[in-house]
Amino acid sequence: MKQELLRILRDVFRSAGYSANESSRYDLIAEKDGYKTIIKFGSDPDMSDLKLFADQVLEGIGLYVSTTDVNLDVKHYGENLGLIIWDRDEVAVHIGRAVLADIEGTASELELVRAPSAYSNGYSCETSEPRSFSNVFRGTAIPARESATPSYHSATPTSPFAQVIAPTHAINSVHLELQAAPLKLTKDRASVMGKPHVQTVQAVILKLVPFWRYSYSLKVEKKYKSKIIDISGEGVGYLNALNGNISNIAINEVSNVLELPDNDYELKTQIITQTQAKDSILNMLIDEHTKDLRFDDTKGEAIISEHKRFKPSLEDIKLQIDLIYVPIWEVKGPRNSVELNAHTAEVLTHPVDDDVEFI
């Protein structure tokens, strides 16, 4: 039912002049005249569901579409968070309005979500009193690029260091205070590169994926009888902060400010904590640098073999770890997706996100 409703509403938004694309983080992202609507589907939501969704809406306005009736208190709670709530009846009304507008040839003039005009930031220009989103056609889309003064938005609850800086030199560009690999592969080029893998390109989504970058060194000498066993090594690697896998992703440079062509992106929230990453990396390094050796000794005519294992301790390993983000283009097709490293233009063989379906 969800997929069918998703298809219907996507067509409704598109017929009304919106660009509407499916999202791996949300369900749909619709945009018209520079105003973005983030759409999430669900059923019988409670207050915690709406709070979680509101926290995920970093720009524009959030629209929660429920396939069931919504408790009135829950609906009011969501509206106070700045969300638009469509329950079952309202969904039917909006679909019906769209069908009638299509018949009358006025679908392109239909406003499914109204952009702000005579008020700003939820306040009436005349009274300076807080104004409910439900009083203005069930909600307001916040402009993605236009602002009277530079605005700063927290990127995620668990990434307080990530901020959006209002662009000062280019109207469409976005700068993020984020330790990240620079984006070098354009969206159009990613679409061209991804097409052979998915046949028909339905959407191209930019994701900023967190990785724990680590560098290590160890120098250990173990002595066994008259032999010296050297255990040493050094290197750099990356652990995916979404799924905990060690990745062979290529990163050539890292900067403290990430420049993006526009504000159409998904900032992924890390799931693997620094402590978890550190423990996993240390255990992996100990396994990698453990040596199983065989020693043969002759006593008379007998050959005696011994097997010994030499491994470093946690104290032997010097480890540095920090969080960096890598821009990833996900090219979606009808049945599968392919991901490309937007920094190096490399086609990835393993998905960086569990939401991606590779074939």
pLDDT of residue 107: 64
Q: How far apart (Å, rounded) are the C-alpha atoms in residues 287 and 190? A: 38
Region 285-309: mean pLDDT is: 75
Q: Which of 73-82, 126-135, 197-206, 287-296 has the highest mean pLDDT?
A: 197-206
What is the Cα Rg of the chain in Å?
27
pLDDT of residue 241: 95
Q: Which long-range contacts (CB under 8 A, 24 or more apart) does 48-57 make?
A: 50/74, 50/77, 50/78, 50/81, 50/83, 50/85, 51/81, 53/83, 54/78, 54/81, 54/82, 54/83, 55/157, 56/25, 56/26, 57/82, 57/83
Per-residue confidence band for 214, with pLDDT thresholds at 50, 70 and 90: very high
- pLDDT tens for each residue of 112-148: 776 433 333 333 333 333 333 333 223 333 333 333 3
Region 24-53: mean pLDDT is: 84
Q: How far apart (Å, rounded) are the C-alpha atoms in residues 275 and 244? A: 12
Q: Indicate whether 256 pLDDT > 80.
A: yes
Region 15-28: mean pLDDT is: 78
Region 155-172: mean pLDDT is: 42
- From residue 113, how far is each of 39, 130, 167, 260 by CA, in Å? 11, 19, 26, 26
Region 219-229: mean pLDDT is: 77
pLDDT of residue 193: 93
Per-residue confidence band for 229, with pLDDT thresholds at 50, 70 and 90: confident
Region 260-281: mean pLDDT is: 92
Q: Indicate whether 189 pLDDT > 50.
A: yes
Q: 262 near 188, Cβ under 8 Å?
A: no
Per-residue confidence band for 172, with pLDDT thresholds at 50, 70 and 90: low
Percent over 90 (pLDDT), the chain: 30
What is the value of pTM for the model shown? Answer: 0.51
* Domains of the chain and CATH, by start: 2-144 (3.40.1350.10), 159-341 (no CATH)
Region 268-286: mean pLDDT is: 93
Residue with tokens 């598109």: 14
Sign (positive/negative) of CA torsion 97, 98, 104, 110? positive
Conformation bin of residue 285: beta by default, left when phi > 0, alpha when psi is -120 to 50: alpha
166 Cβ partners below 8 Å, 6+ apart? 147, 149, 150, 151, 152
pLDDT of residue 166: 39
Q: Which long-range contacts (CB under 8 A, 24 or more apart) does 65-73 make?
A: 65/5, 65/9, 65/27, 65/39, 65/40, 65/41, 65/91, 66/41, 66/42, 66/91, 67/1, 67/2, 67/5, 67/41, 67/42, 67/43, 67/91, 68/43, 68/44, 70/44, 70/45, 71/46
Q: Indicate whether 228 pLDDT > 90.
A: no
Q: Indicate whether 150 pLDDT > 60.
A: no
**Mean of all residue pLDDT scores within the chain:** 77
Q: What is the DSSP string of 146-159?
A: --SS----EEETTE
Region 152-179: mean pLDDT is: 53
Exposure of 293 in the CB half-sphere (CA atoms within 13 A)? 15
Q: How far apart (Å, rounded) are the C-alpha atoms in residues 258 and 326? A: 10
pLDDT of residue 358: 45
pLDDT of residue 298: 72
